[in-house]
């Protein structure tokens, strides 16, 4: 697959993870699904994700699990700081745990699902 296409797919997949996290959270708190509210709630985490992508140089190996291990904590940390300081929203400890768990699971998860190692037959099957 062409490099720019892989980068685009990975960036969109990561952004989708953030948007799904926000949509589920807003729905579970009966905050509705209005587009403006969704974007405002997602903004600190999307900015955190962008910061993480730049810091980790994610475009170099966008599908690697190692990439997710770098972008996950930066996305959460920057997102929480921006949420608290710039967007004046809450960062309750339980929210931090849920955000860290969800984002970690899914930023890592989709990469693990498409990892080339997952597509190789077991060593015993090749003998």
- Check residue 126 and give its pLDDT: 54
- Check residue 32 and give its pLDDT: 60
Give the whole-angstrom CA distance, residue 73 versus residue 71.
Answer: 6
Segments in the chain below pLDDT 50: none
- Check residue 118 and give its pLDDT: 54
- Check residue 117 and give its pLDDT: 64
CA 76, 81, 82, 83 dihedral sign is: positive
44: tokens are 């600190």
- Check residue 102 and give its pLDDT: 97
- Check residue 26 and give its pLDDT: 82
Q: What would the pLDDT profile of 89-122 be if each residue is shown by its tens digit?
A: 888 999 999 999 999 999 999 999 998 765 555 5
Give the number of other Cβ atoms within 10 Å of residue 44's Cβ. Answer: 24
Domain locations along the chain: 3-116
Structural contact between residues 11 and 62, judged by C-beta atoms closer than 8 angstroms: yes
* 54, 111, 123 from 42: Cα distances, Å: 18, 21, 43
3-class DSSP state of 88: coil
Phi, psi of 62 (to 5 degrees): -65, -25
């Amino acid at each position: 697959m062409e490099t720019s296409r892989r980068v685009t797919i990975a960036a969109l997949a990561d952004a989708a993870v953030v948007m799904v996290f926000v949509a589920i959270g807003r729905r579970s708190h009966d905050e509705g699904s209005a587009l403006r509210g969704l974007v405002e709630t997602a903004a600190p985490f999307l900015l955190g994700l962008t910061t993480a992508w730049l810091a980790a140089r994610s475009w170099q190996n966008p599908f690697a699990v190692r990439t997710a291990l770098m972008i996950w904590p930066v996305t959460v940390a920057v997102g929480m700081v921006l949420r608290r300081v710039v967007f004046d929203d809450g960062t309750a400890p339980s929210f931090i745990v849920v955000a860290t768990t969800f984002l970690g699971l899914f930023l890592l998860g989709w990469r693990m699902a498409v990892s080339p190692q997952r597509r190789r037959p077991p060593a015993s099957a090749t003998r």
